[in-house]
Amino acid sequence: MNSDVEIAGDPLALPHLLPPAPAHPTTVADFAGLARDIAADPDSWAPLVRYDATSRWYHRLREVPGTPDSARPDQSFHGYQVWLLSWVPGQGTGAHDHGASFGLLTVLAGELTERAGPGAARGRRTLTAGTQRVFAPGYVHEITNDALEPAVSLHIYFPGLTDMPMHPAQRSAVRLPVSAHQPCPTAWAERS
């Protein structure tokens, strides 16, 4: 049987015909690969990590603005942000979504717990180091450190996170009221 290469020719032999490599990640797989690359290079993030028992700690590792293309909206690049977060035992987010952004969470160290879905039936996932989760816009979840050791996670938002609406607490734990539609840095600071 003839192979595709025998029938159509080897495209790798004609590099000038290949589409140019994108300057930035644009697909979920690209962003997952970016997160794995960062995770595999602890020198790039471990020295930056701080733990704060009084307030959630976060650090923006990278922000790449979008480049709209009004003539070809389908070719617009929407930009992204890369955040480094730490979690001491007991810290959590409260239930929230990510506005119009997709999110990709990668646990770099320790263990986190994700709860998603309505009411008592909310699914519970234990996220260990190396675990990746992808969230579509509108996805509601809550992340907590229910373990006994601190944790560190990497979060990529594409497009960059501009709004992180908080949702009413859906479990018995007492949470301070948080106003909706706070920009993410404020929301993170107040979500401890």
Binding positions for Fe cation: 96, 98, 141
The single residue listed with the structure tokens 């409260």 is 94
Residue 9 gets the label, from left (phi > 0), alpha (psi -120 to 50) or beta, of left
C-alpha–C-alpha distance, residues 160 and 102, integer Å: 9
SS3 60: strand
27, two tokens = 């697909």
C-alpha–C-alpha distance, residues 23 and 35, integer Å: 16
